[in-house]
């Protein structure tokens, strides 16, 4: 017997938040990088997304197995977006690279992105040894000092999904919130 009732009114709105599979290298809870992952989750949630992290999935097997891989594959397929949190360790991880391949299969270019994370002051957009990462859109921060090429209007401060530059050197940027909500 159901012991629950729900009340709906015209003012009640159903708001669907886009789901995001966040691929990242797992760390010990005490590691600094764990703080970075929490920061990325907050960034994505503040932009309107609902983030999936496999370590928080109660349906995940206790020991890594083929069931683990199948569960991850199913979740990637069903999430709206796929983001690789590209730390050096994640780029070297077999699991993260496998997840990126699955994301590429199901998400295509409009629903996949790389969020690069380098040590402070380090800039490497070439991904030496992992050049394939250059083909994916990136999530970048704009500081409000650059202008759009075609309008001389300043790019507002914030995070953007940035497609790779085309043959003319043009890159298309979309505010992160808009990209997330374009399911």
Q: Are strands 173-175 and 19-23 parallel, antiparallel or unpaired?
A: unpaired
Per domain, the residue ranges of the chain are: 19-119+135-181
- pTM score of the predicted model: 0.83
Tokens of 38: 């929490």
pLDDT of residue 151: 80
pLDDT of residue 72: 95
Q: Which fold has domain 19-119+135-181?
A: Rossmann fold (3.40.50)
Rounded to an integer, what distance in angstroms lies between the CA atom of residue 79 and that of residue 16? 12
Q: Are strands 138-142 and 50-52 parallel, antiparallel or unpaired?
A: unpaired
pLDDT tens, per residue, the chain with 183 residues: 444 433 444 444 455 889 999 999 876 555 555 678 888 999 999 999 999 998 888 898 889 999 999 999 999 999 999 999 998 888 889 999 999 999 999 998 899 999 988 654 455 555 556 788 889 999 999 999 998 887 889 999 999 999 998 898 888 999 999 999 986
> In the block, which residue shows the tokens 């790389």?
114
pLDDT of residue 22: 96
Residues 18, 23, 26, 27, CA torsion sign: negative
pLDDT of residue 2: 42
pLDDT of residue 45: 95
Rounded to an integer, what distance in angstroms lies between the CA atom of residue 88 and that of residue 96? 11
pLDDT of residue 37: 85
């Amino acid at each position: 017997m159901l012991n629950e009732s729900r009340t709906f009114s015209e003012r009640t709105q159903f708001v669907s938040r886009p789901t995001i599979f966040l691929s990242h290298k797992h760390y010990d809870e005490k590691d600094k990088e764990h703080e970075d992952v929490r920061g990325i989750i907050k960034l994505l949630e503040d932009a309107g997304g609902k983030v999936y992290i496999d370590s928080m999935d109660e349906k995940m097997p206790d020991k890594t197995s083929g069931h683990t891989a199948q569960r991850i594959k199913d979740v990637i397929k069903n999430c709206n977006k796929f983001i690789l949190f590209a730390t050096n360790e994640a780029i070297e991880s077999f699991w993260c690279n496998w997840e990126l391949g699955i994301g590429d299969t199901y998400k295509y270019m409009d629903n996949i992105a790389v969020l690069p994370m380098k040590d402070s002051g380090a800039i490497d957009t070439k991904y030496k040894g992992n050049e394939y990462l250059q083909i994916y859109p990136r999530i970048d921060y704009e500081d409000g000092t650059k202008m759009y090429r075609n309008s001389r209007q300043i790019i507002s401060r914030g995070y953007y999904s940035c497609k790779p530059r085309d043959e003319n050197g043009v890159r298309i940027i979309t505010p992160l919130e808009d990209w997330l909500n374009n399911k």
